[in-house]
């Protein structure tokens, strides 16, 4: 594999695959500002908050603040504007301390909604022009962080797209890059396979405790996890139990050693294959991995899940030809060709890697073309789980 | 005599007692198993779903990827559909009060 691709070198030493201008709300009331700025300046990347972040909440604030800070400091972002009512809760200073060019946009200081939209639209327009003019330059593949995700899994996920993605993950890891496996509940029944690959016995133990906490949470509710795991869609696709779903799910991580376990939206400190504690919910997981620094995400899907991120390209891989053809406008690659013998796991793995490098160099994914952009905040279980 | 329809299934690991059906099959179809011997489907099995490669007694383990994925809740015949109606998960079962 070539050691570099045309990307954006950041002052922080991280590299971007896109040069987005991000307008991020830090308060619910800032959603309106963001929505109106997006209407005036369609080129900006935006997300909207699903609930009011509360710095006084010891459980919810840590994952939420990590998510917001992770977006403000994301390497795919050339310049970020943080929009808030009166208080940014220290997030702008924290982002700037990392060397990221983040502007604080206070609605109270600017004089309310209309004036804030007016000023911000002008600034965003100018920032977009600067971002568009910035040239790409060779940056190391080893600086890539790639999120590994599956959603709407079916009986073929563990046979085609997931193991092929595992091949791509192993190639990335061999090149010095980082891949993030996530979804703690989707490790139930397969945790021993991943724990065995941990670089230290302590790390393996920590990972096992985490998965068992996820299982125990389901148990203490006095119910059977099967109501949601596997989901009705998974069952219709041929998956029978959570064990079966998990065993197919962890194939995305290939065979590389597990180097680190991080909390939701936490940036990995190690390279190689990293596990992030996230819920199984597709959008929360996607948001967590992107906030943790993933510049790219590969999303395998059996049933056909259309989703994307405002700031990170998502490469969609269908697990079977039927879904690929049915949702061709949403899909980038067809791993169903492994079933027909037109491709092997190895060749498909290389195809995924080539696609990732092309996308990293600027080729738009189907999710970018379709302008699919989802965002969610995870309320977390800070302190309650053994991380 | 009319030719018997043939299907195809994928067995992932030599220890597996199930294989994944590639294109849906009907009862009586002969299913060629990649990594195993052919089996006759005793009922319709949709694409992506599992066919039993051996008879399994109630309480017997279902093995895929060389790993246990659940336990049979009733007798499963070789060639039968293996799914939620005859297999139960052994994990995350708060209802079992273990």
Q: What is the pLDDT of residues A190-214, one digit of tens each?
A: 999 999 999 999 999 999 999 999 8
Do A188 and A58 share a domain, yes or no? no
Residue B65: pLDDT band with limits 50, 70, 90: very high
Q: Hey, is B53 helix, strand or coil? A: coil
Of B62, B24, B84, residue with least CA distance to A232: B84
In a domain, A385, yes or no: no
Residue B98: pLDDT band with limits 50, 70, 90: very low
Mean pLDDT across chain A: 95
List the domain range (segments joined by +) for residue A53: 20-133
In a domain, A375, yes or no: no
Residue A302: pLDDT band with limits 50, 70, 90: very high
* Chain A environment of B90 (Cβ under 8 Å): 241, 243
- Is A50 within 8 Å of A67 (Cβ atoms)? no
- Mean local confidence (pLDDT), B21-50: 96
In a domain, B15, yes or no: yes
List the domain range (segments joined by +) for residue B50: 6-96
Do A172 and A312 share a domain, yes or no? yes
Mean pLDDT across chain B: 92
Residue A333: pLDDT band with limits 50, 70, 90: very high
Please tell me if residue A130 touches chain B, with a CB cutoff of 8 Å. Answer: no
Q: Which residue, A133, A161, A193, sits at the end of a domain?
A: A133
Do A243 and A358 share a domain, yes or no? yes
In a domain, B81, yes or no: yes
Residue B1: pLDDT band with limits 50, 70, 90: very low
Please tell me if residue A33 touches chain B, with a CB cutoff of 8 Å. Answer: no
Measure in Å the smallest separation between the Cα of B91 and chain A Cα atoms.
Answer: 7
How many residues appear in chain B?
98
What pLDDT sits at residue A381?
Answer: 85
In a domain, B50, yes or no: yes
As for the ipTM of the complex, it is: 0.94
Cα separations in angstroms, A52 against A74, A121, B75: 22, 24, 53
Please, where are the H alpha helices in chain A? 30-40, 61-72, 91-97, 107-110, 113-133, 161-174, 191-195, 201-220, 232-236, 242-249, 282-291, 321-326, 345-360, 366-369
- Is A311 within 8 Å of A76 (Cβ atoms)? yes
The per-type count for chain A, helices as H runs and strands as E runs, is: 14, 14
In a domain, B40, yes or no: yes
Do A223 and A271 share a domain, yes or no? yes
Do A248 and A119 share a domain, yes or no? no
Q: Which residue, A99, A133, A167, sits at the end of a domain?
A: A133
Has residue A379 got a pLDDT over 70? Answer: yes
Do A128 and A144 share a domain, yes or no? no
Please tell me if residue B13 touches chain A, with a CB cutoff of 8 Å. Answer: no
Split into its structural domains, chain A has a count of 2
What pLDDT sits at residue A221?
Answer: 61
Cα separations in angstroms, A283 against A141, A211, A261, A324, B78: 26, 20, 20, 21, 40
């Amino acid at each position: 594999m070539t050691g570099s691709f045309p990307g954006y070198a950041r002052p922080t030493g991280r590299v971007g695959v896109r040069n987005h201008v991000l307008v991020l709300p830090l308060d619910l009331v800032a959603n309106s500002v963001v929505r109106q700025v997006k209407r005036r300046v369609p080129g900006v990347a935006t997300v909207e908050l699903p609930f009011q972040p509360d710095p006084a909440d010891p459980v919810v604030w840590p994952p939420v603040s990590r998510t917001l800070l992770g977006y403000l400091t994301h390497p795919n972002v050339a310049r970020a504007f943080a929009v808030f009512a009166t208080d940014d809760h220290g997030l702008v200073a924290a982002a700037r301390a990392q060397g990221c060019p983040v502007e604080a946009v206070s609605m109270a200081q600017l004089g309310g909604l209309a004036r804030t939209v007016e000023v911000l639209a002008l600034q965003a327009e100018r920032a977009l022009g600067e971002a568009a003019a910035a040239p790409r330059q060779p940056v190391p593949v080893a600086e890539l962080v790639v999120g590994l995700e599956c959603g709407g899994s079916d009986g073929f996920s563990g046979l085609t797209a997931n193991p092929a993605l595992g091949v791509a993950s192993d190639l990335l890891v061999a090149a010095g890059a980082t891949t993030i496996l996530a979804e703690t509940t989707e490790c139930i029944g397969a945790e021993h396979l991943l724990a065995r690959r941990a670089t230290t016995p302590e790390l393996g133990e920590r990972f096992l405790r985490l998965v068992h906490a996820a299982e125990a949470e389901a148990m203490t509710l006095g119910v059977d996890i099967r109501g949601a795991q596997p989901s009705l869609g998974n069952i219709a696709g041929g998956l029978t139990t959570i064990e079966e779903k998990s065993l197919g799910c962890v194939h995305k991580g290939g065979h590389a050693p597990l180097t680190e376990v991080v909390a939701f939206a936490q940036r990995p400190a190690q390279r190689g294959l990293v596990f992030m504690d996230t819920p199984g919910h597709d959008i929360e997981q996607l948001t967590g991995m992107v906030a943790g620094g993933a510049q790219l995400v590969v999303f395998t899907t059996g049933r056909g899940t259309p989703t994307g991120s405002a700031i990170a390209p998502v490469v969609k891989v269908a697990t079977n030809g039927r879904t690929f053809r049915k949702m061709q406008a949403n899909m980038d690659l067809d791993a169903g060709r492994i079933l027909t013998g037109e491709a092997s796991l190895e060749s498909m793995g290389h195809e995924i890697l080539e696609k990732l490098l092309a996308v990293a160099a600027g080729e738009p994914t189907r999710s970018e073309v379709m302008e699919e952009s989802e965002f969610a905040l995870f309320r977390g279980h800070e302190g309650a789980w053994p991380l | 005599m009319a030719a018997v329809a043939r299907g195809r299934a994928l067995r992932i690991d030599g220890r597996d007692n199930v294989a994944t059906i590639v294109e849906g099959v009907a009862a009586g179809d002969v299913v060629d198993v990649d990594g195993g011997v052919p089996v006759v489907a005793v009922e319709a099995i949709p694409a992506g779903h599992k066919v039993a490669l051996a008879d399994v007694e109630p309480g017997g383990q279902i093995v895929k990827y060389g790993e246990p994925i659940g336990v049979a809740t009733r007798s499963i015949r070789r060639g039968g559909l293996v799914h939620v109606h005859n297999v139960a998960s052994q994990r995350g079962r708060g209802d079992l009060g273990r």
